[in-house]
Amino acid sequence: MRLSDLVPFRTTKAPGDRIVNELNKQLFRYNKGLPISLDDTQNAYIEDGYEFNPDVYSVINGITKAASAVPPCVHIIKDQKKALKHKQLMNSMRRKASQSQLDNILELKEQAFEMVEDDRDPLYKLINNPNPLQGYPEWYENMKGFQLITGNGYTHFVELGDGTFGEMWVMPSQFTKIVANPTYESLIQGYVIDMYGSDGHQLEEKSVMHWKYWNPDYDSVGSHLYGMSPLKSARRSIRLGNDGDQALSKALKNGGASGVVYPTDPDLEQLTPMQRSQLENYLRTMQGPDNYKSWLVSSVKLGFEKFGMPPVDLEIIEAGKMSQRDICNVYNFPSELLNDPDNKTNANKEQSRKQLYLDNVIPELARDFAEMNRCLVPYFSEATGIKYHLDFDVQSIDALSQDRETTVNWLDKAWWLTADEKRIEMGYEPLGDNSRYIPMNLVPDGNSGLTEDEINLMSDELSGV
């Protein structure tokens, strides 16, 4: 085949000036508009990962509880250019945040937006009270937990008559299926919940918001439309941790005994099948911590031959530590927060908590709120005519407050900055005060270039004359 024989993926015009996406046409040529089955063990990630593995549970809970505790903010855009710059800075934090980025964002936020704190505002009401059973923290924790476990988080919107939404409900991601549109253009035409072996009522595409992680698994049925679970790359580590815990539990249950019992009485060459069965049943009933080091009475001499190696020799405990660190690495979670004694990269837990927010929580929040601004906000802006913007309150994060205290102390000594410059540095709007407050203990060294009259005048100003 020659290179010229290949048909390139390009967007062409069809009759009626309708745009045809040739790439999607190729990718979904076998799709007939049926729900896409994901070739992945979504339910296993929940059962074998989150519900069974304490490290997975601890890491995911640590992230979701920290992220859901950061309050949401509803804003009205008052400066479109600065709002755009704010958006660009927020996008730059979707991988990793820094203190300098946060300072710049706080400064822009004051200039670009106006805070909305009115229970009568439809978007403010929805964000703070997503549904009759949940407030924002629980709703976001549920959604984020599903995404961290399965790679997908879904929220269903209950539509009102004016085109906005009155409720938001988290959908079980392990049972949610995507229905692709066979026309290839809009791709996703709806979602269905498959919990009982048959697909249920199809939800409209616009009534579902789908958070997902990137999935490189492209196939003919559209598996890449789902997010990839972080646990997929850690399956072996999770299995190693689960098997290690099970082995230690079993070793404790049977008192560390693992081997064969046999008669050593010279007058008794072997046990009868009935005697062997009775002895096996008796030994099984004697297992467990309640019977540890209990007595066994026998009418014949018995020997014991040990099989296998003890857990310490098999390095099960060390393997468990490595499994824990692998899971922490997958989620970019500091293992020091899980009391890992051998992997302390920070001086204290306060620094580890700060690392959790800068490397994980804030980038995840930036991603999620960018998606809400893309999928949710336009419906409210169109219905009300108000230019809304959703954000989260970085200043409420205690782990970062220590840095702000350091900044305040530094600004207190930076007498060469004006009052407004100090306000801007702290993220507040300037008030038009360009005064510099110079300490009384500062005196010129004789090389200032000022005349004696200018020095006397400055001295009088400092003295309040």
DSSP secondary-structure letter at 172? -
pLDDT at 272: 76
- How does strand 203-204 pair with strand 188-193? antiparallel
Q: pLDDT above 70 covers what percent of the chain?
A: 66
Count other Cβ atoms within 10 Å, centred on residue 112. 22
pLDDT at 10: 44
Q: How confident is the model at residue 1 (pLDDT cuts 50, 70, 90)?
A: very low
pLDDT at 427: 61
Mean of pLDDT values over 266-295: 68
Instruction: For residue range 171-192, list pLDDT tens digits in order.
Output: 999 889 888 876 655 578 889 9
Are 431 and 423 spatial neighbours (Cβ–Cβ below 8 Å)?
A: yes
Are 33 and 176 spatial neighbours (Cβ–Cβ below 8 Å)?
A: no
pLDDT at 199: 60
Instruction: Name the amino acid, one letter, at 173.
Output: S
Cβ contacts of 28-33, under 8 Å, gap ≥ 24: 28/180, 28/182, 28/184, 28/187, 28/220, 28/222, 29/220, 30/220, 30/221, 31/180, 31/182, 31/220, 31/221, 31/222, 32/182, 33/179, 33/180, 33/181, 33/182, 33/189
pLDDT higher for 13 or 278? Answer: 278
pLDDT higher for 320 or 64? Answer: 64
Mean of pLDDT values over 365-378: 93
Structure token digits, residue 165: 């939404």
Q: How confident is the model at residue 298 (pLDDT cuts 50, 70, 90)?
A: low
Mean of pLDDT values over 377-393: 94
Q: Give the span between the Cα atoms of 185 and 22, in whole angstroms.
A: 9
Structure token digits, residue 97: 């945040």
Q: Which of 6-20, 140-154, 277-291 has the lowest average pLDDT?
A: 6-20
Give the H or E element holding residue 153: strand 152-159
Are 362 and 69 spatial neighbours (Cβ–Cβ below 8 Å)?
A: no
Q: How confident is the model at residue 379 (pLDDT cuts 50, 70, 90)?
A: very high
Burial of 5 from C-beta contacts in 10 A (0-12 / 13-18 / 19+): exposed
Instruction: Name the nearest CA neighbour of 185 among 35, 11, 379.
Output: 11
For residue 235, the Cα-to-chain-centroid distance in whole angstroms is: 18
Q: Using only C-alpha atoms, what is the Rg of the chain?
A: 32
Mean of pLDDT values over 145-167: 93
Count other Cβ atoms within 10 Å, centred on residue 56. 29
φ, ψ dihedrals at 286, nearest 5°: -90, -5
φ, ψ dihedrals at 134, nearest 5°: -140, 145
Q: Is the pLDDT of residue 6 over 50?
A: no
Q: How confident is the model at residue 317 (pLDDT cuts 50, 70, 90)?
A: low
Mean of pLDDT values over 352-375: 91
pLDDT at 166: 94
pLDDT higher for 229 or 99? Answer: 229
Q: Is the pLDDT of residue 208 over 90?
A: yes
Q: pLDDT above 90 covers what percent of the chain?
A: 25
Are 28 and 180 spatial neighbours (Cβ–Cβ below 8 Å)?
A: yes
pLDDT higher for 394 or 49? Answer: 394
pLDDT at 220: 59
Are 215 and 228 spatial neighbours (Cβ–Cβ below 8 Å)?
A: yes
- How does strand 259-263 pair with strand 72-77? unpaired
Q: Is the pLDDT of residue 399 over 80?
A: no
Count other Cβ atoms within 10 Å, centred on residue 387. 15
pLDDT higher for 340 or 14? Answer: 340
Highest mean pLDDT among 23-37, 101-115, 240-254, 339-353: 101-115
DSSP 3-state assignment of 391? strand
pLDDT higher for 116 or 198? Answer: 116
Q: Is the pLDDT of residue 430 over 70?
A: yes
pTM for the model stands at 0.69
Q: Give the span between the Cα atoms of 205 and 210, in whole angstroms.
A: 10
DSSP 3-state assignment of 268? coil
Q: Is the pLDDT of residue 291 over 90?
A: no
Region at 392 (left for phi over 0; alpha for psi -120 to 50; beta for the rest): beta
pLDDT at 234: 76
- How does strand 11-14 pair with strand 152-159? unpaired
Q: How confident is the model at residue 318 (pLDDT cuts 50, 70, 90)?
A: low
pLDDT at 15: 47
Q: Which of 32-46, 132-146, 257-271 has the lowest average pLDDT?
A: 32-46
- Residue bearing tokens 């304490």: 54
Structure token digits, residue 356: 């959790």
Instruction: For residue range 238-272, list pLDDT tens digits in order.
Output: 777 666 666 666 665 555 556 677 777 766 667 77
φ, ψ dihedrals at 416, nearest 5°: -75, -10
Q: Give the span between the Cα atoms of 104 and 107, in whole angstroms.
A: 5
Strand 203-204's sheet: what is its strand order?
35-36, 176-180, 188-193, 203-204
pLDDT higher for 398 or 303? Answer: 398
pLDDT at 4: 44
Q: How confident is the model at residue 395 (pLDDT cuts 50, 70, 90)?
A: confident
Instruction: Name the nearest CA neighbour of 211 among 59, 334, 374.
Output: 374
Instruction: Name the amino acid, one letter, at 42.
Output: Q
Mean of pLDDT values over 326-346: 79
Mean of pLDDT values over 412-437: 75
Structure token digits, residue 463: 């003295």
Average pLDDT along the chain: 77
